[in-house]
Chain A
Amino acid sequence: MRALRFPRPRALGVDVGSAVNLVGAVLKYLGAAFLFPAAIALGSDEPALPFLAAAAITGGTGFLVERGTRGRELVGPREGFLVVALTWLALPAFGALPYLLADEPQLARPVDAYFEAMSGFTATGATLLTDIEAVDSSLLMWRQLTQWLGGMGIIVLAVAILPRLRIGGRQLLQSELAGPTELERLSATIRETARRLWVLYLVLTLAAIAIFTVYGWTGADPAMNLYQATAHAFSTLAIGGFSTQNESAAAFAAVTQWTIVVFLVLAGVNFLRLYLVLVRGQVRAVARDDEFRLYLAFLAGGSVLLLLELLGGDLFGGEEAIRNSVFQAVSIMTTAGFATSDYTEWSALAELTLLLLMFIGASAGSTGGSIKVIRHLLMFRIIRRELEQTVHREIVVPVRLNASIVDDRAIRGIVAFIVLYIGLFALGALGLVVDARRAAVEVQSFEALGAAAACLGNVGPAFGFAGPFGSYAPFSDLSTVILTGLMWLGRLEIIPVAVLLTRGYWRG
Chain B
Amino acid sequence: MEIVVLGAGQVGTTIVEALHDDHDVTVVDLDAARLQALSYRYDVRTVRGNGATRRILQDAGVDRAALVIACTSRDEINLVAGTLAKKLSAAQTIVRTSNPEYIEAWQERQIDVDFMVSSELETAYAVSRTIGVPAAKQTDVFAEGQVQIVEFDVPTGELAGDVVGLPLKEAKIPADSKVASIIRGEGMLVPRGDESILPGDRIVVIGSPDAARAWSRLMAAEEQSVDDVVIYGAGATGVAIAHVLLDQRIRVRLIEPMEERAREVAEELPRARVYCATGLDPDFIERERIGQARAAVFAMREDAKNLYAATLARVHGIGFTIGIVHEPISAEVFERAGIDVAVNPRSVTAEEIVRFAHDPRIRQLAMLEGDRFEILDITVRETSKLVRIPFKELPMTGSLIGAIVRDGTAIFPHGDDRLEPDDRAIIFTESSRVAEVEKAL
A positions within 8 Å CB-CB of B = 392-398, 400, 405
Give the docked Cα–Cα distance between A60 and B282 (Å).
75
* A395 & B267 in contact (Cβ 8 Å cutoff): no
Tell me the minimal C-beta distance from A264 to chain B in angstroms.
Answer: 34
Among A392, A393, A396, the residue within 8 A (CB) of B266 is A396
Closest to A403 in B: B270
* B270 & A400 in contact (Cβ 8 Å cutoff): yes
* B274 & A396 in contact (Cβ 8 Å cutoff): yes
* A395 & B274 in contact (Cβ 8 Å cutoff): yes
* A396 & B270 in contact (Cβ 8 Å cutoff): no
Closest to B279 in A: A394
Using Cβ atoms and an 8 Å threshold, which residues of chain A touch B275? 392, 394-396
* A396 & B288 in contact (Cβ 8 Å cutoff): no
Using Cβ atoms and an 8 Å threshold, which residues of chain A touch B266? 396-398
Known: A394-B276, A396-B266; 4 extra A-B contacts, CB below 8 A, are A392-B288, A395-B276, A397-B266, A398-B267
Using Cβ atoms and an 8 Å threshold, which residues of chain B touch A400? 270
* B263 & A396 in contact (Cβ 8 Å cutoff): yes
Tell me the minimal C-beta distance from B109 to chain A in angstroms.
Answer: 26
Using Cβ atoms and an 8 Å threshold, which residues of chain B touch A394? 275-277, 284, 288
B262 interface residue (CB < 8 Å to A) = yes
B213 interface residue (CB < 8 Å to A) = no
B273 interface residue (CB < 8 Å to A) = yes
Tell me the minimal C-beta distance from B4 to chain A in angstroms.
Answer: 42
Using Cβ atoms and an 8 Å threshold, which residues of chain B touch A405? 267
| Interface pairs (27), CB distance under 8 Å | A392-B273, A392-B275, A392-B287, A392-B288, A393-B287, A394-B275, A394-B276, A394-B277, A394-B284, A394-B288, A395-B273, A395-B274, A395-B275, A395-B276, A396-B262, A396-B263, A396-B265, A396-B266, A396-B274, A396-B275, A396-B276, A397-B266, A398-B263, A398-B266, A398-B267, A400-B270, A405-B267
CB 8 Å contact bits of B281-311 with A (1 = contact, 0 = none): 0001001100000000000000000000000
Tell me the minimal C-beta distance from A55 to chain B in angstroms.
Answer: 53
Give the total of B residues in contact with A, Cβ under 8 Å: 14
Tell me the minimal C-beta distance from B279 to chain A in angstroms.
Answer: 9
Tell me the minimal C-beta distance from B79 to chain A in angstroms.
Answer: 28
Tell me the minimal C-beta distance from A401 to chain B in angstroms.
Answer: 12
Closest to B266 in A: A396
Tell me the minimal C-beta distance from B363 to chain A in angstroms.
Answer: 38
Give the docked Cα–Cα distance between A22 and B372 (Å).
69
Give the docked Cα–Cα distance between A139 and B275 (Å).
63
Using Cβ atoms and an 8 Å threshold, which residues of chain B touch A398? 263, 266-267
Give the docked Cα–Cα distance between A397 and B288 (Å).
15
Give the docked Cα–Cα distance between A394 and B265 (Å).
14
Using Cβ atoms and an 8 Å threshold, which residues of chain A touch B276? 394-396
Tell me the minimal C-beta distance from A329 to chain B in angstroms.
Answer: 33
Using Cβ atoms and an 8 Å threshold, which residues of chain B touch A396? 262-263, 265-266, 274-276
Tell me the minimal C-beta distance from A476 to chain B in angstroms.
Answer: 53
Closest to A395 in B: B275
Using Cβ atoms and an 8 Å threshold, which residues of chain A touch B267? 398, 405
Using Cβ atoms and an 8 Å threshold, which residues of chain B touch A393? 287
Give the docked Cα–Cα distance between A245 and B262 (Å).
59
Using Cβ atoms and an 8 Å threshold, which residues of chain A touch B287? 392-393
Give the docked Cα–Cα distance between A400 and B270 (Å).
9
Which B residues between 242 and 271 are near A, CB-CB below 8 angstroms?
262-263, 265-267, 270
Tell me the minimal C-beta distance from B426 to chain A in angstroms.
Answer: 27
Tell me the minimal C-beta distance from B257 to chain A in angstroms.
Answer: 10
Closest to A388 in B: B273
Using Cβ atoms and an 8 Å threshold, which residues of chain A touch B284? 394
Tell me the minimal C-beta distance from B402 to chain A in angstroms.
Answer: 30
Give the docked Cα–Cα distance between A397 and B276 (Å).
10
Tell me the minimal C-beta distance from B251 to chain A in angstroms.
Answer: 14
Tell me the minimal C-beta distance from A151 to chain B in angstroms.
Answer: 36
Tell me the minimal C-beta distance from B123 to chain A in angstroms.
Answer: 23
Closest to A405 in B: B267
Give the docked Cα–Cα distance between A282 and B273 (Å).
33
Tell me the minimal C-beta distance from A4 to chain B in angstroms.
Answer: 55
Give the docked Cα–Cα distance between A395 and B262 (Å).
9
Closest to B278 in A: A394
Using Cβ atoms and an 8 Å threshold, which residues of chain A touch B277? 394
Give the docked Cα–Cα distance between A398 and B276 (Å).
12
Give the docked Cα–Cα distance between A392 and B283 (Å).
12
Give the docked Cα–Cα distance between A411 and B273 (Å).
21
Closest to A404 in B: B267
Give the docked Cα–Cα distance between A395 and B276 (Å).
6
Give the docked Cα–Cα distance between A146 and B39 (Å).
85
| Interchain residue pairs A-B with the least CB separation, the first 9 | A394-B277, A394-B275, A396-B266, A396-B274, A396-B262, A398-B267, A405-B267, A398-B266, A396-B276
Using Cβ atoms and an 8 Å threshold, which residues of chain A touch B274? 395-396
Tell me the minimal C-beta distance from A390 to chain B in angstroms.
Answer: 12
Tell me the minimal C-beta distance from B419 to chain A in angstroms.
Answer: 35
Tell me the minimal C-beta distance from A252 to chain B in angstroms.
Answer: 46
Using Cβ atoms and an 8 Å threshold, which residues of chain B touch A392? 273, 275, 287-288
Using Cβ atoms and an 8 Å threshold, which residues of chain B touch A397? 266
Tell me the minimal C-beta distance from A413 to chain B in angstroms.
Answer: 19
Tell me the minimal C-beta distance from A234 to chain B in angstroms.
Answer: 43
Tell me the minimal C-beta distance from A483 to chain B in angstroms.
Answer: 43
